[in-house]
Structure 1
């Protein structure tokens, strides 16, 4: 018996056509599926279109709309495929990982670098393989399926703007590879003994609140620490991308340390990460980071991607304003987002 898969179309390049002033999403999910040979042999497909936008315009309120569609239809389908633009796909994949946790059913995000109508498109294979993965009994949780790779939703990062292999798995192995119509699962997608756990019928944990007042601040030489004071009006949390493995300037005075501690002591959240894409953060290595290493009010991003840090901070602050609870939520491992402490 074929599985039932719900395709949730949101727009993006995969749905775009040229309207004379650049690519614009116009095609529906059903129209896209009709272009993919043999797709209906994999699963029984239904379609819903909560929006049809360029993913540059995707916002946290849209993540919640997608979450509501999945949660409302969860009991009626075996899997879900979200068609999405590539530019912010990693943010949406991370957000859905926190909004719908421990899902025994797969929630797959995919898109393409070329529109479905392009003669050289990658859209057909990406959509075919995403439905294949969503219909497989062993698949679970939120993932990105793109160019033959299955990436945990919290580890996806768009690395290339034009090539078909646009996404990489940040600091974590890909969960599986798809070769034509065969899924080859890697160790990260298997449990003890090399077996995939059976589904128990348990419902996922669905969360409904996000704090959108989160900003990423990238250190650059001579960036003035007074920026923290200017951000207080509009933001509850700063994700600070430091130099190297965790360097924060001192410039021979305490201006940065004073500004950062003032931000934390004001009740706001500070997450420290690195602007270097791979291998993560360690504040204790150099003197320029050690001053912040043991401060309980400063959360450490370790080897998480910036996309996941944004989504997780929004999610954690959406659940609680108590610093201890926020800290516990932040350091809780969700969908492979960080190595367990």
Structure 2
């Protein structure tokens, strides 16, 4: 019996056409499907948005999550076509908004519009449908012959077809000459029902430290209404305390009730605030370690936590919890 799948189209490069103002998303989901030829699945199509993903914001995340939640019981899997620029953010946020989703949800897109002869779109779409028909329940991203956990993905290239990497965990599966080969990974199989929860607080900031950064800017953010900050520190998460005392500023912000998440500017491996003095001092001031999370996952997890009304201590406990394989807790 054929798997029954749903394509939710939201725009992006994959659906774009040339216009006087540059590439704009115009193709429908049916247009995308027609260019794939025969696929061994029973596929329905619904166009829910038509946006360049640079315009994808929290309002759209909520809308997409609501649509996935609404349709999930009618299908074996869902494919979400999406622009690549913010796809990793959407995948991470859907992971938190749709915890314990009962079916696989696969995000995909392309670096070149599907109507171009040498586009990567057909292969990515075919991969996404195959993933939707065969993956365990969860939120994934399919791109360039790799299936990755959505909350572990980062866009690392602007034009190359190999645009996304799975950070700090191997891809869930790869396409080889033997077909779709899955890794032996023990993903969570939580029996709890999926509950849609789109309550988030997007009044957060992501800051990358650099030599000479003035910590007064952190207070300016807080005074402007920022409710939480993710700081990408150096190496294992170290932060300066000489002259421009970022460490002391973090302590003051936390005492004001503003959680500060400490991550690393390095794409791979983890932050560890216990190893160096510059990290330990931040830890003593109350900084919350992001461990090996991506920045995309850390910022969306913070938004979701604040949306639940969590205070600083509850946010710290939440970041010490692995919700959906987004972080390695040792």
TM, length-normalised to structure 1: 0.92
Q: Give unmatched runs, 5+ long, in structure 2.
A: none
Q: Hey, what's the Cα distance between the residues in 2 that align with 1:38 and 1:189?
A: 33
Q: Structure 1 pair 190/155, CA: closer, same or farther in 2 (3 Å)?
A: closer
**Is 1:259 the equivalent of 2:232?**
no
Match of 1:281 among 261, 271, 275: 271
The DSSP-based 3-state class of the residue aligned with 1:119 is coil
The DSSP-based 3-state class of the residue aligned with 1:131 is helix
Q: Hey, what's the Cα distance between the residues in 2 that align with 1:160 and 1:19?
A: 24
Shift of 1:45: 1.2
Match of 2:303 among 304, 309, 314: 314
More displaced 10-residue stretch of structure 1: 212-221 or 314-323: 314-323
Match of 1:236 among 227, 231, 234: 227
Q: Hey, what's the Cα distance between the residues in 1 that align with 2:186 and 2:30?
A: 30
Shift of 1:81: 0.5
Partner of 2:14 in structure 1? 14
1:19-54 Cα deviation digits (max 9, x unpaired):
022110000111111110212x2x211122221000
**Is 1:144 the equivalent of 2:141?**
yes
1:174–1:188 Cα contact (<8 Å) kept:
no
Q: Hey, what's the Cα distance between the residues in 1 that align with 2:141 and 2:284?
A: 35
**Is 1:301 the equivalent of 2:321?**
no
Q: Hey, what's the Cα distance between the residues in 2 that align with 1:160 and 1:151?
A: 16
Q: Hey, what's the Cα distance between the residues in 2 that align with 1:73 and 1:178?
A: 28
Match of 1:72 among 67, 70, 73: 70
Q: Hey, what's the Cα distance between the residues in 1 that align with 2:73 and 2:277?
A: 53
1:151-207 Cα deviation digits (max 9, x unpaired):
10110011111111111001111111133783211022568xxxxx7x97x632321
1:153–1:335 Cα contact (<8 Å) kept:
no
Partner of 1:160 in structure 2? 157
1:98–1:315 Cα contact (<8 Å) kept:
yes
**Is 1:5 the equivalent of 2:5?**
yes
The DSSP-based 3-state class of the residue aligned with 1:36 is coil
Match of 1:56 among 54, 57, 65: 54
Q: Hey, what's the Cα distance between the residues in 1 that align with 2:21 and 2:196?
A: 40
The DSSP-based 3-state class of the residue aligned with 1:101 is coil
Match of 1:85 among 83, 86, 105: 83
TM, length-normalised to structure 2: 0.95
Partner of 1:132 in structure 2? 130
2:214–2:244 Cα contact (<8 Å) kept:
no
Shift of 1:263: 0.7
More displaced 10-residue stretch of structure 1: 160-169 or 255-264: 255-264
Q: Hey, what's the Cα distance between the residues in 2 that align with 1:130 and 1:96?
A: 17
**TM-align CA RMSD:** 1.8
Match of 2:262 among 254, 267, 272: 272
Partner of 1:194 in structure 2? none
Q: Hey, what's the Cα distance between the residues in 2 that align with 1:332 and 1:50?
A: 33
Q: Structure 1 pair 254/156, CA: closer, same or farther in 2 (3 Å)?
A: closer
Q: Structure 1 pair 180/34, CA: closer, same or farther in 2 (3 Å)?
A: farther
The DSSP-based 3-state class of the residue aligned with 1:187 is coil
Q: Give unmatched runs, 5+ long, in structure 1.
A: 192-196
2:82–2:107 Cα contact (<8 Å) kept:
yes
1:41-70 Cα deviation digits (max 9, x unpaired):
2x2111222210000111011111000001
